[in-house]
């Protein structure tokens, strides 16, 4: 039991004192950024198309 407690304490210390390695660059990769931007552009285009479609349908003669 005492050995298990010491192992758990050691693991907790390692987790609490873990430091992320310092790299030269931070943030998302370029391909991830491009994918996010593309998804945003598609979403905006979809919203614009939906608004224009609703406007046109509302103003069409019956």
**Prediction pTM value:** 0.53
> What band does 21 get if pLDDT is binned at 50, 70 and 90?
low
Buried b (16+ CB within 10 A) or exposed e, 2-29: eeeeeeeeeeeeeeeeeeeeeeeeeeee
The residue with greater pLDDT, 25 or 37, is 37
Domain boundaries, the chain: 29-62
> What band does 20 get if pLDDT is binned at 50, 70 and 90?
low
């Amino acid at each position: 039991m005492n050995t298990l407690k010491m192992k758990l304490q050691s693991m907790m210390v390692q987790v609490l004192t873990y430091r992320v390695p310092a790299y030269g660059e931070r943030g998302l990769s370029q391909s991830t950024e491009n994918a996010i931007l593309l998804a945003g552009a598609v979403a905006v285009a979809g919203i614009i198309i939906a608004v224009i479609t609703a406007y046109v349908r509302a103003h069409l003669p019956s």
